[in-house]
Amino acid sequence: MEGDQEDQAQMVMFQILALKRKVTDAWIRSTTEHCLCGHPLWTYQISMDEYISLAKEKYGYNGEQALGMLFWHKHDLERAISDLANFTPFPDEWSVEDKVLFEQAFQFHGKSFHRIRQMLPDKSIASLVKYYYSWKKTRSRTSLMDRQARKLAVHREEGSEGGSELGSNTDSDSDEKHVFPLCLFRRTGSVRPTTGPVKRERHCHVLLRNKRKPPRGMYINHDDLVAMASGPPTPAPATQGEQMLKAMDREIVSLKRQVQNNKQTLSSFKRKTSEGIDDFRPADTTSRINARWTNDELLLAVQGVRKYGKDFKAIAEVIGTKTEAHLRSYFVNYRRRYNLDAVLKEFEAENGPIVENDEKDEK
């Protein structure tokens, strides 16, 4: 009897377990069907992804802004989607955190914008490139990180006693011997020197060698510096040095204006010469030969004899209105009046004797 009761109890237990399994399967199927037609968690997650991608691609939101809009409408996706167009953010809006992240990423990766985008996933490659060129123009305004990097470079180049002091400070702590230099600087504010201590007598030479020099073409005048530093008191709030610099700026502006005017004048001259210079050439004087001598022509002939001697053809070409025969008759007629013999002696003293028979010329 006891064995039969145990068998019956086991059968009842198996039936109860089978019924429980059927109920569980039916509940799972009903839950799945309800998920397909209702708003369960996983379908809500799919809708969230679609909502965020829509806000990013169509309206230019980032993930945080899209979630903020959804939170404002109390997680109502339809109302949040309908209100996205009313609060479109400015295009290419960069927050302070984005700018700092970009600068740090650029220091690590350079111009590898695909790697930079891994640190700024909300920005497109085009937006990163556009911001890079606008940020590049402001690099002259050095940031704190750049100034500190330059200061560290100067410390490494100098290798002076300051470097040895830094070395003593850093070597004193044995735990920091194998720390990366950047981490060591963040922790202690000092950098391990790259060179050993320098001798005492070479310290002045190192300072002179690393002395800062003005830019090329600029020279420092001690008198000008003294005049700028100590000048007569001025009633205006500007100091003497500022007034001198303003005067120099005004002078530079006036010189630039003068340079611009000169450029315009030169361009006008070039334009005129490109059209041709035939209008500016002297007219042909062969048709204006005149036997009458003017005072200017007489004086020109004297100068011609002093320069060319008895080369009457060259003198005639210089005067232009006389022929070689006119010059020969001029030499005979005005020989005594203008003392042409003395003029010829000057020519011979400079160029040597004239190889020509004077008697033939007189005839």
From first CA to last CA, the distance across the chain in angstroms is 181
SS (H, E, C) the chain: CHHHHHHHHHHHHHHHHHHHHHHHHHHHHHHHHHHHHCCCHHHHHHHHHHHHHHHHHCCCCCHHHHHHHHHHCCCCHHHHHHCHHHHCCCCCCCCHHHHHHHHHHHHHHCCCHHHHHHHCCCCCHHHHHHHHHHHHHHHHCCCHHHHHHHHHHHHHHHCCHHHHHHHHHHHCCHHHCCCCHHHHHHHHCCCCCCCCCCCHHHHHHHHHHCCCCCCCCCCCCHHHHHHHHCCCCCCCCCCHHHHHHHHHHHHHHHHHHHHHHHHHHHHHHHHHHHHCCHHHCCCCCHHHCCCCCCHHHHHHHHHHHHHHCCCHHHHHHHHCCCCHHHHHHHHHHCCCCCCHHHHHHHHHHHHCCCCCCHHHHHC
Looking at this protein, which amino acid is placed at residue 53? S
Q: Which pLDDT score, from 0 to 100, does residue 30 have?
A: 56
**CA separation for the pair 355, 340 (Å, rounded):** 17
CATH of 291-362, one of 1.10.472.10, 3.40.50.10540, 3.10.450.240, 1.20.58.1880: 1.20.58.1880
Selection from 241, 211, 247, 238 nearest residue 225 by Cα? 241
Taking only the tens place, the pLDDT of each residue in 124-180 is 888 888 888 888 877 655 566 667 777 777 777 666 544 444 444 444 444 444 444
Domains 96-140 and 291-362 share a fold: no
Report the distance separating Cα 240 and Cα 227, nearest Å. Answer: 8
Ranges of each domain in the chain: 2-87, 96-140, 144-209, 291-362
Dist. CA 8–CA 104, nearest whole Å: 76
What type of residue is 29?
A: R
pLDDT of residue 76: 85
Contact 88, 59 (CB under 8 A): yes
What pLDDT is stored for residue 255 in this prediction?
A: 94
pLDDT, tens digit, 9 for 90 and up, residues 178-209: 444 455 455 555 554 444 444 454 555 555 55
With CA atoms as reference, report the closest residue to 138 among 102, 93, 186, 92.
102
* Count of other CB atoms within 10 angstroms of residue 128: 19
Give backbone dihedrals phi and psi of 263, rounded to 5 degrees, phi first. -65, -40
- Only one residue has tokens 């303003």, namely 246
Q: Are 56 and 62 in contact (CB under 8 A)?
A: yes
- For residue 98, which of 120, 116, 115, 117 has the smallest C-alpha distance? 120
Task: Determine contact, residues 247/255, Cβ cutoff 8 Å.
Answer: no
The architecture of the domain spanning 96-140 is Orthogonal Bundle (1.10)
From first to last of its 363 residues, the chain has per-residue pLDDT tens of: 555 666 676 666 666 766 666 666 665 555 444 443 444 444 555 577 888 888 877 887 777 788 888 888 888 888 888 888 887 766 656 777 788 888 888 888 888 888 888 888 878 888 888 888 888 877 655 566 667 777 777 777 666 544 444 444 444 444 444 444 455 455 555 554 444 444 454 555 555 555 667 777 777 777 777 777 776 655 555 566 777 788 888 999 999 999 999 999 998 888 888 877 777 676 665 557 888 888 888 888 889 888 888 888 889 888 888 889 988 898 888 888 888 888 888 888 888 887 665 444 444
CA–CA separation, 228 vs 17, rounded Å? 101
